[in-house]
Structure 1
Amino acid sequence: MFKIFNNYKSEFILLALILFILFGLGICISFSLPLFLGLIPAYCMLFIYLLTLKNNFSQLIFISLKGIFMVKEVVGILIGVGIMLPSFALSGTLNEILNIFMFTLNPKYLAFFSFVFASILSLIIGSITGTLCILSAPIMALSNSVHYPSYIVAGALVSGAMLGDRSSIFSSALRLTAICVGIDVKTHFMAILPTTIVAVILILIVYSIFLPIFFEIHINSVHITSDYLIKVDYFKLFPILILFVLFIKKVPLFFSFLFSSIFALFISDVNSSINLIYHIFYGINIWPFNHLSGIFSMLPLVALVCVSSAFNSLLQKSRILDSLVKRIINPKSYSQSVFRVIVLNLISSMLFCNQALPLMLAAQQLRNEWRRNFKLSLLSRVIADSAHVFPGIVPWNLLAQICAILLGVKPMYYIHFAFLLWILPIINLIFSYFAQKDKIK
């Protein structure tokens, strides 16, 4: 039988783990070291403490490996992205998309258009990863071409992509939230609609009016030459079309990336198979695109996925957050309960280093106590406005790291301008202060 901490020890160990994680990751960020190294001390500490409780060494190893096995799909996505980005560059697909954006977008409002395009596409395919895979490279290249600050555009793209990942009826994360809370998808969608509408209106105002006023953005059109104003070669857009159709058909992401990349390589202009293989493994760097990562560039992130998943598995098994969770809900104050859930979701996003586990933790641990005092739909809205979006603003979280790889911008630079991820929890708090305590009959 697996032995866990008592309430007093679990709170002490939780605090120590948070400090270890913050210190280790802070060192890695300061010295530009791979982030997975910053999680190893916290993992070792938890492993050793569980050993002191007389848990079997092989049992702990098995739990860790089980956690790694659970993220095999994420590893596949990372490898698939590593193949896709250089393939789309070599085939000319990214250049053709860039040409289209050059024709249609006003560079002065690039952040506004980036948010709108990413929102529309993510609402259609329901995936933040899929949206950024299609839009990030050409739009970031456009920002480089006209010298629009790349970190602002990156924040706008993440905000738009997250909107669909959180709100689209095609999103697996939306369905996961509803299932874990114990309500149907329609009820959940209607619960998150008010905060979504308010957030989108505020963000559109910020990107279209306040950014141009408060940030002195110098648009340089020198690089928009006749080279970009050629007729679009629609045949080179086929890899994007294939990727889009596969997303819609819910084909596993790795195979979606792989099939579209194979077609892109088939129509590429690379003469030598040796050069082709080199670019696939080591990436490609062609102006105005930032460095497009190859398979080798993904390996540190793969290591982060594996270490964090092993750590998450031990955390879940040790039930180290149970004592904290039991004190979250205050039956006498809805607003105070909302605030505590948001704080819990921020902590779990920092600890668990992925998107699904904080969401599942809050829903499954809190729903029984929550339904005794408030409507479950209100819990689903709090989770969607916090646990769902916080992973995008925690720099070492896997979601933030994947976004950074696709955007070519480090999380520490773009998260300040990913306004949706900041605005939603604030709006939810404001709603909670004005709401009446709504008990379930």
Structure 2
Amino acid sequence: MFKTLNNYRSEFVLLTLVLFILFGIGTCIFFSLPLFLGLIPAYCILFVYLLALKNGFIQLLFVSLEGVLMVKEVVGILIGVGIMLPSFALSGTLNEILNIFISTLNPRYLALFSFIFASILSLIVGSITGALCILSAPIMALSNSVHYPSYLVAGALVSGAMLGDRTSVFSSALRLTAICVGVDVKTHFMAILPTTIISVILILIFYSLVLPLFFELSINSVNLNINYLSKISYFKLLPILILLVLFMKKVPLFFSFLLSSIFALIISSVSFNINLMQYIFYGISIWPFNHLNGIFSMLPLVALVCISSAFNSLLQKSRLLDSFIKRIINPKSYNQSVFRVIVLNLISSMLFCNQALPIMLAAQQLRNEWKKSFSLSLLSRVIADSAHVFPGIVPWNLLAQICAILLGVKPIYYIPFALLLWILPITNLLFSFFAQKD
């Protein structure tokens, strides 16, 4: 059984972990090192701390291994994406999607259309990963071909994809939030609707009016008619259709990627030889797409997933956050309670390095104390507007890294322009000034 010392000591260890994570990750970003190296010092410190509390070495290893096994599905997704991207490029599927976008979109409003398309698709599939897997490569290629700033388009895509991931009734993350808080899906959906509507309106105004007015965008449309406005082959769009159907049927994501990739390779003109294997394992570069990562390109991210999950497992077992959490709720001030929960969710997103654990932590640890003073639906809204979206603005978080891999843009470049992820917590905080106790 894991033990912690007095509150002062546990909070000191927690602060030390946060500082080491920030320093380690910051060093990796500065020197362009794999991010998983930045988490190793924090993991070692926590491991040694728990050993000092007379927890068994083997026991700690097993707890770490349990954490790694919990993310085997995520590892499968990363490998699946590594197979899918080169396969869709070789089959011409990405090119055909690009043809459709080019023939229908106004390049000057590419960020606006990117947000709208990503929102619609993610509302259908209920997954930020699923929406970005389908849209990111062709839309980012379009931004390259017309010289539209890639960081603006990437931010718009992440914002739109997150909208569906957070709001769609098909989203597992939405259902996870509702279940952990203890409300039904309809109650949760109605609770998040006001902040959703306001945030979407503000984003649409920014992308359609403010962005063209204050950003001098040099759009090059010379290449469009020359390279891409050919007759669209709808047969080559079948891999995307298969992927969409599998998503909606809730087939495990790895198998969705694998099956659609196999079909894409079958309809491609590439023979099954050593070159094909090279593309699958090492990725492929084809203009105007950025380098499309293969399996080996995903390995540093796989290492980040495994180390962060092992760290998360130890952190949960150690219950280092318990003493901090108990002081979050202020029964006399809803505003103050909301602010503290948002700060807690930001810290947990920095520590846990994934999306699910901050949601579960805030919901399960706070709901009993919260419902003594406030409505649980208000807690579900705070969590949806903070714990759900913060992983996307923490550069070393798994969600941000997956988005970066799919977009071909480093998190620090697109994060400032992923407007939904910033507007939602601010809107929720403003709402707290007007919300009434239940």
3-state SS of the aligned residue for 1:302? helix
- Counterpart Cα distance in 1 of 2:272 and 2:127: 35
Which residue of structure 2 lines up, in the alignment, with residue 420 of structure 1?
420
* Matched residue SS, 2:433: helix
Matches within 5 A, 1:200-215: 200-215=200-215
1:282 and 1:297 in contact (8 A); partners too = yes
Deviation sequence 1:225-282 (CA, Å, 0-9, x none): 3331111001100000000000010000000000000000111122351111000000
User: Is contact 1:99–1:232 with CA below 8 Å preserved after alignment?
Assistant: yes
Q: Please provide the CA RMSD for this pair.
A: 0.7
Q: Equivalents in 2 of 1:272, 1:395: separation in Å?
A: 37
Deviation by residue 1:168-203 (Cα, 9 ceiling, x = unmatched): 000000000000000100000000000000000000
Tell me which amino acid in the other structure corresponds to 1:175.
R
Contact 1:140 1:154 in 2 (8 A): yes
Task: Indicate the residue corresponding to 1:400 in structure 2.
Answer: 400
State the partner residue of 1:381.
Answer: 381
Moved more, 383-392 or 212-221: 212-221
- Within-5 A mapping of 1:46-57: 46-57=46-57
Cα-to-partner distance string for 1:343-402 (whole Å, 9 max, x where unaligned): 000000000000000000000000000000000000000000000000000000000000
Which residue is 1:362 aligned to? 362
Which amino acid in the other structure matches residue 230 of structure 2?
I
Q: Is the partner of 1:378 in helix, strand or coil?
A: helix
Paired position in structure 2 for 1:161:
161
SS of equivalent residue, structure 1 residue 225: helix
- Map residues 69-88 of structure 1 onto 2, 5 A cutoff: 69-88=69-88
Report how far residue 435 of structure 1 moved.
Answer: 2.2
CA distance in 2: counterparts of 1:167 and 1:387, whole angstroms: 14
Mind listing any 5+ residue stretches in structure 1 that lack a counterpart? Answer: none
Amino acid at match of 2:173: A
Q: Aligned residue for 2:92?
A: 92
Provide structure 2 residue ranges, at least 5 long, that are not aligned to the other structure: none
* Conservation of the 8 A alpha-carbon contact between 1:5 and 1:320: no
Query: 1:222: which partner in 2?
Result: 222
1:431 — aligned with what?
Answer: 431
Counterparts of 1:210 and 1:226, CA distance in 2:
31
What is the aligned partner in structure 2 of residue 280 from structure 1? 280
- 2-structure distance, mates of 1:44, 1:229: 55
Query: Secondary structure, in 3 states, of the residue corresponding to 2:293?
Result: coil
Tell whether the 8 Å contact from 1:5 to 1:318 is kept in structure 2 after alignment: no
Which residue in the other structure is 2:328 paired with? 328
CA distance in 2, matches of 1:30, 1:354: 22
SS in structure 1 at match of 2:221: coil
Q: CA deviation at 1:214?
A: 1.2
Q: Which amino acid aligns with 1:242?
A: I
In 2, Cα distance between equivalents of 1:230 and 1:112: 25
Cα distance per residue 1:74-130 (max 9 Å; x no partner): 000000000000000000000000000010000000000000000001011100000
CA distance in 2 between counterparts of 1:271 and 1:60 reads 48
User: By how many angstroms is 1:307 displaced?
Assistant: 0.3
- Tell me by how many angstroms 1:224 deviates: 1.1
Tell me which moved more, 427-436 or 107-116.
Answer: 427-436
Q: How many residues align?
A: 438
Q: Distance in 1 between matches of 2:418 and 2:385?
A: 14
The Cα shift of 1:3 comes to: 2.1
Sequence identity percentage: 82
Q: Secondary structure at the match of 1:142?
A: helix
The amino acid that maps onto 2:44 is C
Query: TM-score normalized by structure 2?
Result: 0.99
Q: Which amino acid aligns with 2:195?
A: T
Report the counterpart of residue 350 of structure 1 in structure 2: 350
Counterpart of 1:198 in structure 2 is 198
User: Match for 1:260: what amino acid?
Assistant: S
